Homo-oligomer: A and B are copies of this chain.
Amino acid sequence: MPRLTGALEPRGSWQATGCSLARAIDVVSTRSAFLLLREACYGTTRFDDFAARAGISEPVAAARLRELVEAGLMTREEYREPGQRARLAYRLTEKGAGLFPALVALMEWGDQWLTEDGGPIGFRHRDCGEPVQVELRCAAGHHAGPGDLDVVHRR
């Protein structure tokens, strides 16, 4: 695990106020929000598809999608197919798409620790076909495990 440094050491001298993890969880705090974001990453856009594919009720899907739009993670637009009534389509914003690595990291953890067979879905690099994983890397390109990290205070 990482080592606390500088003003962060000893741990008893500070509290994690303004923690960005807490802020993130305040925005995406429900199972259904995670599953709707997953579906959006897979390309789902129609309201009916979101509810069915995430396996949640339509009222819950509607409430959650509204929250995700209000939080700036998705946009909502009307579309109309010939002869049909207007329907709503939802798409990830850049902010919403920014959660993709976190979703993959959670999925990888589930693959490793909560399945017998590595899980149903994997990601591959289109150019070379190799499997893709979430890694911790420093700006110099070194792979850095949790035990290789110092936690620093930015202010």
A contacts with B: majority SS: mixed
Q: Is the CB of B98 within 8 A of A112?
A: yes
Q: Is the CB of A102 within 8 A of B99?
A: no
What separation, in Å, do the CA atoms of A146 and B124 have in the docked complex?
10
- Interface residues in A88-109 (C-beta closer than 8 Å to B): 92, 95, 97-109
Known: A109-B99, A153-B121. A27 touches B137 (CB 8 A): no
Is A60 positioned at the interface, with any CB of B under 8 Å from its CB? no
Known: A41-B2, A151-B123. A35 touches B21 (CB 8 A): yes
Q: Is the CB of A29 within 8 A of B31?
A: yes
Q: Is the CB of B42 within 8 A of A118?
A: no
Seen from chain A, the residues whose Cβ lies within 8 Å of a Cβ on chain B are 1-4, 8, 11-12, 15-27, 29, 31, 34-35, 38-39, 41-44, 49, 52-53, 55, 72, 92, 95, 97-115, 117-128, 130-140, 142, 144, 146, 148-155
Q: What are the 3 tightest A-B residue pairs by CB atom distance, in nearest-first order? A: A20-B110, A125-B138, A102-B105
20 contacts between A and B (CB under 8 A): A3-B126, A15-B52, A16-B38, A16-B121, A19-B121, A20-B106, A20-B107, A20-B108, A20-B109, A20-B120, A21-B34, A24-B107, A101-B108, A101-B136, A120-B153, A123-B150, A131-B138, A132-B136, A133-B138, A134-B136
